[in-house]
Amino acid sequence: MKMIELKDGYGITSDGKSYTLIQYAIQTSKNGDEKEIQKSISFHSTLESALQGYSNCRMADLVSNVDLDLKDVEEAINELKEEIKTYDCK
């Protein structure tokens, strides 16, 4: 499967027909062994839609971890828009 690596442990995979937004996570077994896994976050028919899903997840992560005022939110949104432009899916 082909993959686009994104920031903060996210990525997008494709099977050639659709896109899956994934997040890397560490899974610990009962005996304490750790391994990196890919958790499927959402499924999309277009790359543009998958990138929008990524943007939504990043904003949710940010808001859940930090107290923000409206100016900070606007700044974070603008930074995400600039990042997504670098992937230029059009």
Confidence at residue 74, expressed as pLDDT on a 0 to 100 scale: 82
19-37 pLDDT, tens per residue?
999 999 898 988 889 998 9
CB atoms within 10 A of CB 76: 16
DSSP state of 32: S
Cα separation, 4 vs 10, in Å, equals 9
52-70 pLDDT, tens per residue?
999 989 888 877 777 777 7
Report the predicted TM-score, pTM, of the whole model to 2 decimal places: 0.74
Token pair recorded at residue 11: 């990525």
